[in-house]
Structures are given as structure tokens and as C-alpha cells.
Amino acid sequence: DQQVKQNSPSLSVQEGRISILNCDYTNSMFDYFLWYKKYPAEGPTFLISISSIKDKNEDGRFTVFLNKSAKHLSLHIVPSQPGDSAVYFCAASGGYGGATNKLIFGTGTLLAVQP
Amino acid sequence: DTEVTQTPKHLVMGMTNKKSLKCEQHMGHRAMYWYKQKAKKPPELMFVYSYEKLSINESVPSRFSPECPNSSLLNLHLHALQPEDSALYLCASSYGLGTGELFFGEGSRLTVL
């Protein structure tokens, strides 16, 4: 049972345009969400996070939006750059009865930014 | 120093071998993790250590044996593995449990023959 889903395995965007990566989750107990970026042959790198008490968090070119009622979050990258080309993982945690950091990852979306 | 260092980067072993994967961080983090990632799949949690004590074991087979000798080091001892255990093993750390952001190493690519 995949609790965190990224339904688009890949996305191609022109340089300078907006990239929108989507993520859906099923567990209403999740209260913290993160986006990680992964280049080939490297470990995932933290990008941005959002707590369930917020609906938006922004960091430079990256903005994460959370819609709790729809159990949906999205990552917006504006403007997209060729160096943003990587696999993006959505992850969620929470609801495990106490302080824990059990992250559940989505299946990832491969973003390709074309020059 | 914001790095999590994993060794070796690549490991090939037979099903009767005993080997270990090592992970080190010097960020003062008190929680450390092992994740397993198969090709085209998301990372899956295996173990969590908090203050050098095993906090979570995700029903991992006993042929994988974690060890946390001190707050900076995390080992994963491997014995009698199966070919289906071939995967990328990722180590991560965080300031503590429940702090959200995990810092990942580059991973150890394991091949079991």
C-alpha cells in the first residue's frame, strides 16, 4: 500500500518556465512533508519542507503548497534551470505515536529541464 | 561539516560472505538511519537509532544486523545475503527524532552474487 504517491514518473520543462511536481498521500496522520532531490549516484538532498499547520512555504525559487483536505502537495520551481534536472522525491512523516522520523517516500518524479 | 560519509561506495559479495557497511557523520546528530533503495523505487526505511539505541526496526531479516558504536558511527553488518538484497543502501542522520530533515550519504551500492 503506497501511502505517498507521485503519479507522474517524469516531467519535461523548458528552461525559465515553471516546473510543478505533484504528490498525494493517503494517511491523514501525516503532519510533516518534505521534498528531496536526487542526482544519479548520489544520496537524496533535502530541498524544502512544510508542516501541516501551514499551506505554503517558500525558499528562493522553490515553493511547496499543501492542501490538507485534498491530501495533496506540490512543489513549484520558478524559474526552472537545467541544473534542476534530477529525481524529486516527496516524503511524509508523523502519526506514529510519539517522536519519530519515519519518513515515507513517494516513488519519485524525474524532472528534465531543457535548455 | 554537513556530510554523511558512507563506505564502501560499491560492494560485491557472495551469499556466504560477511561484510559491513559503514556510515559516519560529525554534525552532532543524535538520530541515524539505514534505508534501502531498489532501482526505480523509493527509499525504504530499515532501522532507526536514537541516542545510540535502536528505535525502529522495520521487520528487517536478521541477515542484516545494525550497530551504533557511538553517536557518530553507524554500521550495517551483512551475512548470508540473498541476490534480491542487491540494492543501494543509504545512511542518513538528523538532529533528533521528529525533526524532519534527514541528511543522506551517497549510498553503498551492494551486489550479492
> What SS3 class is residue B83?
helix
In tens, the pLDDT along A1-59 reads 678 999 999 999 999 999 999 999 999 988 889 999 999 878 899 999 999 999 999 99
Contacts of B104 (CB under 8 A, 6+ apart): A36, A43, A44, A45, B4, B35, B90, B91, B92
Cα–Cα distance for residue pair B16/A70, rounded to 1 Å: 49
Question: Which pLDDT belongs to residue A43?
Answer: 87
Cα–Cα distance for residue pair B106/B8, rounded to 1 Å: 10
Tens place of pLDDT for every residue, chain B, 113 residues?
Answer: 568 999 999 999 998 889 999 999 999 999 999 999 998 888 999 999 999 999 889 899 999 999 999 989 999 999 999 999 999 999 999 987 766 688 999 999 999 99
Q: How confident is the model at residue A95 (pLDDT cuts 50, 70, 90)?
A: low
Does A72 score more than 60 pLDDT? yes
B93 touches chain A (CB under 8 A): no
Q: How confident is the model at residue A77 (pLDDT cuts 50, 70, 90)?
A: very high
Q: Collect all residues of chain A within an 8 Å Cβ-Cβ radius of residue B40.
A: 107
Cα distance between the two ends of chain A: 38
Question: Which pLDDT belongs to residue A98?
Answer: 47
Question: Which pLDDT belongs to residue B96?
Answer: 78
Cα Rg of chain A, angstroms:
14
The residue-averaged pLDDT of A78-107 equals: 84
Does A97 score more than 60 pLDDT? no
Decide if B33 and A49 are in contact by the 8 Å CB cutoff. Answer: no
Give the residue from A5, A101, A104, A105 with the most B CB atoms within 10 Å of its CB, the best one to mutate. Answer: A101
In tens, the pLDDT along B20-41 reads 999 999 999 999 999 999 988 8
**Interface subset of B 6-25, CB within 8 angstroms of A:** 6
Cα Rg of chain B, angstroms:
13
**How close does chain A come to B95, measured CA to CA in Å?**
10
The residue-averaged pLDDT of A75-104 equals: 84
Question: Which pLDDT belongs to residue A49?
Answer: 92
Question: Which pLDDT belongs to residue A101?
Answer: 66
Which amino acid, residue B2? Answer: T
C-alpha cell at position B24: 559516519
